[in-house]
Chain A
Amino acid sequence: MFEQVLFYVFASLVVISATMVICIKNPVHAALFLVLAFFSSAGLWLLLEAEFLAIALVLVYVGAVMVLFLFVVMMLDINLAELREGFARYVPVAVLVSVGMLISLGSIVGGDNFGLDKIAGVEPYPSDYNNTKVLGLAMYQDYIWPFEVAAVILLVAIVAAITLTLRTTRQTKAADPDHQVLVRSKDRLRVIKVMPEEEE
């Protein structure tokens, strides 16, 4: 019973805060609502006894990613008036589409197909169950191939980021030490004999 109450609290928090993320005017507040959404999903995962994932979500997304996100939001000068342009014009269409989607999705994802009588809730694990250990074993034994592919994706992200931002040819003013050591006075100083100007 208590678990059900917790579930509904967290679930409604996720829905409300996710809605606020896209509806609120201030981008900083939107980012903070996203933090709340992550936090409540972490709560949902705790209810599923996936405590490692819940903590990782809080540490990685709330702790690191969203802080970075806030920095980016602060540094960008987002022109809200421009973003909101045409908002009123598109509202009727948007409402029509989203209500239609909501009804059709709800009719399938609702309790008729996914109720507790159809798909049973998780059995509580024994007290010596270690979620982190099970996850680690699954990751490094059953899912080692996807895990390695994910590592390559991170490598691509690094290469791509450097490719898109680094402009060695134009931006850096650093001097090459090799050239500095090898330089001779002749390269820097040119002695020119200036002839006295002759009168016509």
Chain B
Amino acid sequence: MNDLSLIMPEILLTGFVCLLLMVDVYRKPSSGDVTFWTAVVSVGIVLVSIITYWPAEKSTGFSETLIIDPMSILLKLVLLISLLFNFFYAREYFKRSAKGQSEFYILTIFSALGMMVLISAQSLLTLYLGLELLSLSLYAMVAMERDSALASEAAMKYFILGALASGMLLYGISMLYGVSGTLNLAELAEYSVKGDQSLLLVFGLVFVLVGISFKLGIAPFHMWVPDVYQGASTPVTLFISSAPKIAAFAMAVRVLVDGLPGLSIQWSAMLTILAVTSIAIGNIVAIAQTNIKRMLAYSTISHMGFLILGIIAATAQGYAASMFYVFIYAITSMSAFGIIILLVSKSNAPELISDFAGLAKTRPWISFISMVVIFSLAGVPPFAGFWAKWFVLKELIASGSVLVAAVAVIFSLIGAYYYLRVVKIMYFDEPGPDSHVSSQPSLGAYVFTLNGALILLLGLFPGVLMHYCLVAMQAY
């Protein structure tokens, strides 16, 4: 009985998604919003069920394949909140482009379910299954826009590279299992601290790390990111750039910190290389992009590099800083794609950065919020993105990696160029002939404003969220 109460949110979500499937089958073709509102209410209820169940300490269930600790609860909360934002943006997109696909909501919830399984995995088996549930839904979502050749190509690339990464991960897991004889992360941790056969464990670790890096989209395993971001329809890209990153962070913490603490010297060294390359590649290649989604894809790669800098520090504060970073990144990235969605219309979908020329003249409010979002992505002080970078760098320097921190700062300065260029194009360039007819304020625009306000508020009071991150991570 106790075990079942641990997975109450997951059970509720599974139940609701089945209900949603039925609702979607029997709704009238004209009432597309029914599915949307059912999805919103379901996720809302699950959100409440998680909030009411805040455990004092960690508890495991189902023969230690599942763990509920403060970290998992906090991650799930932010995950579901980002899911709600995502629904509103997606509805806005479907309404504007008249390309409604209600399966989007269903597959998104399935994917979120996979993320929740992944977040509270205590065994490598549940970890892998959660990852597959999450990725499988994502592959389908990318391919959903069937008439677009770009989307099919992106889905194909994503699927094949994802399957390859899963294979690598499984091979690594099989090595870890073969050496230690256990799939349980706590037992694996004990084994890794004991220190025998560490060469074989490192061998397994390499493959597992390849899998994790692929899911996070860290260079040199980043090649799928730009194509998938560009090819998938914008709400799908918005989803891929936000929630799965939270899950991938959880996966990294579960495997590396929970499962292999004895190898922290080895994985810190590997992560340092990965982090520095992806910050460099992300920020430099983004400068050359003309497509806004591709630019944001390279920006994601550099942000993910920044995110793992906190894990390199290998302290509780470092993990908390990384967690803070991934939350801020998810919130900011959603609103960055929200800008694109708000400019979509039936005839016109902005893809190029130059499509944003003169936006400040035609849609001043939206371009003001966009400026907030882009400043936050670049890491300009009053906004949340600045604090995310600041906390990570602080922990990195405290742990003694001053050189890495310096490199990261230099590359973010380079990166500031392409972010600020978008602001410059919006505010100082002349609008093109057929651009952005101003439209009625819609629900999506209000959500976008709320999202921007959240970025500003978290920037003014970063301590609140950071406090919860520290509480969640104090066990380490």
Residues of A in contact with B (beta carbons under 8 Å apart): 108-109, 113-114, 119, 141-146, 149-150, 152-153, 155-157, 159-160, 163-164, 167
| B-chain residues with CB within 8 Å of residue A149 when the two chains form the complex | 114, 117, 126, 129-130, 133
In the complex, the chain B residue whose C-beta lies closest to that of A113 is B200
Q: Is B132 an interface residue (CB 8 A)?
A: yes
Contact check, B63 vs A160: say whether CB atoms are below 8 A apart: no
Segment touching A, from B140-148, B232-240, B265-273, B404-412:
B140-148
Q: A155 to B106: give the CA distance in the assembly, Å.
A: 11
Residues of B in contact with A (beta carbons under 8 Å apart): 7, 14, 21, 61-63, 65-66, 101, 103, 106-107, 110, 113-114, 117, 123, 125-126, 129-130, 132-133, 136-137, 139-140, 143-144, 146, 178, 197, 199-200, 203
Contact check, A145 vs B7: say whether CB atoms are below 8 A apart: yes
Contact check, A152 vs B199: say whether CB atoms are below 8 A apart: no
- Partner of A108 from B65, B103, B113, B199 at Cβ < 8 Å: B199
Question: Taking the nearest CB of chain B, how far is it from the CB of A65, in angstroms?
Answer: 15
Contact check, B133 vs A156: say whether CB atoms are below 8 A apart: yes
Q: A150 to B113: give the CA distance in the assembly, Å.
A: 12
| B-chain residues with CB within 8 Å of residue A144 when the two chains form the complex | 62
Contact check, A153 vs B62: say whether CB atoms are below 8 A apart: no
Beyond A146-B126, A149-B126, A149-B130, is A160–B117 a contact (Cβ under 8 Å)?
no
Question: Taking the nearest CB of chain B, how far is it from the CB of A175, in angstroms?
Answer: 16
Given known contacts A153-B136, A164-B143, what 6 new A-B pairs fall within 8 Å (CB)? A143-B65, A152-B110, A155-B110, A156-B133, A159-B110, A160-B139
10 smallest beta-carbon distances between A and B, as pairs: A160-B140, A145-B62, A142-B63, A163-B103, A149-B129, A156-B110, A146-B125, A145-B65, A153-B133, A108-B203
| B-chain residues with CB within 8 Å of residue A152 when the two chains form the complex | 14, 110, 113, 133
- Partner of B136 from A109, A145, A146, A157 at Cβ < 8 Å: A157
| A-chain residues with CB within 8 Å of residue B63 when the two chains form the complex | 141-143
Q: A155 to B133: give the CA distance in the assembly, Å.
A: 10
| B-chain residues with CB within 8 Å of residue A160 when the two chains form the complex | 107, 136-137, 139-140
In the complex, the chain A residue whose C-beta lies closest to that of B132 is A153
Question: Taking the nearest CB of chain A, how far is it from the CB of B144, in angstroms?
Answer: 6
Q: A21 to B178: give the CA distance in the assembly, Å.
A: 27
In the complex, the chain B residue whose C-beta lies closest to that of A168 is B29
Contact check, B107 vs A164: say whether CB atoms are below 8 A apart: no
In the complex, the chain B residue whose C-beta lies closest to that of A105 is B203
User: Mind listing 28 A-B residue pairs with CB under 8 Å?
Assistant: A108-B199, A113-B197, A113-B199, A141-B63, A142-B62, A142-B63, A143-B65, A145-B7, A145-B62, A145-B65, A146-B125, A149-B114, A149-B126, A149-B129, A149-B133, A152-B14, A155-B110, A156-B107, A156-B136, A156-B140, A157-B136, A159-B103, A159-B106, A160-B136, A160-B137, A163-B103, A164-B140, A164-B143
